[in-house]
Amino acid sequence: MAGTAVRGRLIWQTATVSSVVDETATVRTLSLDVPDWPGHRAGQHLDIRLTAEDGYRAERSYSIATAPGERVAITVERLDDGEVSPYLTEELRPGDQIEIRGPIGGYFVWDPVDGGPLLLLAGGSGIVPLRAILRHRAREESPVPVRLLYSSRSWADVIYRTELEHHAEGVAVIETLTRQQPAGWTGYARRVDQQMLTEVAWPATQAPLAYACGPTSFVESVAAGLVTLGYPPGRVKTERFGATGS
Amino acid sequence: MEPLEDRVLDGNAIGGLLIEVFGTEMTAATGRCGRCGTAAQVAELAVYRPGLGTVARCRHCDNVLMVFVQVRGVTCVDMRGLVSLA
């Protein structure tokens, strides 16, 4: 039976891969055609379910990389020891189908009405839901000012690099490259620490709203650092990805 | 091999499972730990091994708040660790 979506119910649907884009050597964006997609909010994710011939099932969650109103897409990082990511990043072709359910999430979401100023903190592939937030902000022409602090291993590992270089007005992108920097690099060259947060984060007195996403250790470290700077814990939203390639 | 702590997720990872069980989005709901009284949004709980057999713990005292197990295709949830969830 085809997925008949009843509002409010979450069901597994069959999505068709419409196109793929390689963001880096290990990261790929998959655009999906999902019949009866109800729309989504910036920051939400979807679940994917793969079933092997022997019936073995694996489920994973991936953040939606696109803004409300755009075609649903996910950006997946291939993990060397991954069970699912190698298939999604290397095997799936346009026209192939996968089972998904979504959109999911009511906590790690942002709409212009939530205001700001916004502090977005990304560790590696944690940039994915934050890119959806940035695109949503731009599409809605929201005047909320944004600072994005994005930690990557190297220049080659920066996801959405070109798009971030041509970001909308009112957005400041601060990158830190933790393992390798290109010649002439004058930006940060270390993991995010308290000193860096002090220099980059909006002052707590401006009542900023923070979203931190990436490996668990990254998220825990920056969230604690922001609370130390005076951010109320309720104004620091977190999404832990577990282990990533970074 | 990633640091041990990187294998722990948060309540965002079980968003789909929660909708299955409760019929509605629950990651923004607030749960109060029955042992230490800490109130936290479900999205912020420490979650271990999403899938068959998932455990959500209080970040403050490590008390088990929710356990999800699949038995013959039915998802069973034990929430005795919570004193409230709203």
What is the structure's pLDDT at A232? 97
What is residue A173's predicted lDDT score, i.e. its pLDDT? 98
A54-105 pLDDT, tens digit each: 988 888 999 999 999 999 999 999 999 898 999 999 999 999 999 999 999 9
Q: Please state, for a pLDDT cut of 90, what percent of chain B lies above it.
A: 69
CB atoms within 10 A of CB A203: 12
pLDDT exceeds 90 at position A29: yes
User: For the residues of B53-85, what is the DSSP string, one character each?
Assistant: SEEEE-TTT--EEEEEEEETTEEEEE-TTEEEE
What was the pLDDT predicted at B73? 79
> Is pLDDT of A118 > 70?
yes
Tell me if chain B has a CB within 8 Å of the CB of A217: yes
**In-domain check, residue A246:** no
A195 domain residue, yes or no: yes
Which tokens go with A145? 């000012």
B50: pLDDT strictly greater than 80: no
- A157 with A236, same domain: the answer is yes
Per CB-CB distance under 8 Å, the chain B contacts of A59 are: 50-51
Structural domain including A173 reads: 112-240
pTM comes to 0.94
Is the pLDDT reported for residue A228 higher than 50?
A: yes
CATH code for the domain in which residue A228 is found:
3.40.50.80
Q: Check whether residue A99 and residue A130 sit in a common domain.
A: no
pLDDT band, residue A1 (cuts 50/70/90):
very low
Contacts of residue B22 in chain A, CB cutoff 8 Å? none
Domain boundary among A104, A122, A150: A104
pLDDT single digits (tens) A180-194: 999 999 999 999 999
Q: How many domains does chain B have?
A: 1
State both tokens at A61. Answer: 């969650």
What share of chain A in percent tops pLDDT 90?
88
**φ, ψ dihedrals at B61, nearest 5°:** -120, 0
* Lowest-pLDDT range of A119-133, A181-195, A220-234, B10-24: B10-24
What pLDDT, on the 0 to 100 scale, is given for residue A167?
Answer: 87
Same domain, A125 and A219: yes
Q: What is the average pLDDT score of chain A?
A: 94
Q: Are residues A118 and A62 in the same domain?
A: no
Q: How many domains does chain A have?
A: 2
Same domain, A88 and A123: no
Contacts of B19 in chain A (CB under 8 A): 10, 104
CATH code for position A65: 2.40.30.10
Whether residue B1 has pLDDT greater than 50:
no
Q: Which residues pair with A196 in a beta bridge?
A: none
pLDDT of residue A150: 98
| Residue B68 domain boundaries | 4-85
Beta-ladder partners of A234? none
Residue with tokens 């996968």: A98
Residue A86 sits in the same domain as residue A51: yes
Find chain B residues with C-beta within 8 A of A61's C-beta: 12-13, 15-16, 50
Of residues A136, A137, A144, the one with CA closest to residue A116: A144
Alpha carbon distance B1, B3 (integer Å): 7
Helices and strands of chain B, counted as H and E runs: 1, 8
Q: Select from B6, B12, B13 the Cβ nearest to the Cβ of A243.
A: B6
* pLDDT above 90 (res A9): no
Final residue before a domain boundary, out of A73, A104, A135: A104
Given this model, what pLDDT does residue A6 score? 45
Q: pLDDT tens digit string along B61-85?
A: 999 999 999 888 788 899 989 999 9
Residue A5 confidence (pLDDT):
41
The verdict on A124 and A188 lying in the same domain is yes
Amino acid at A157: D
* Domain end residue (candidates: A52, A75, A104): A104
In chain A, % of residues over pLDDT 70: 95
> Between β-strands A57-63 and A118-123, what pairing exists: parallel, antiparallel or unpaired?
unpaired
Q: Is residue A6 part of a domain?
A: no
- Chain A and chain B share a number of CB contacts under 8 A equal to 75
Are A243 and B12 within 8 A, CB to CB? no
Interface test with B, best of A61, A81, A246 (most B CBs within 10 A): A61
Å from B41 to nearest chain A CA? 8
User: Is residue A8 in a domain?
Assistant: no
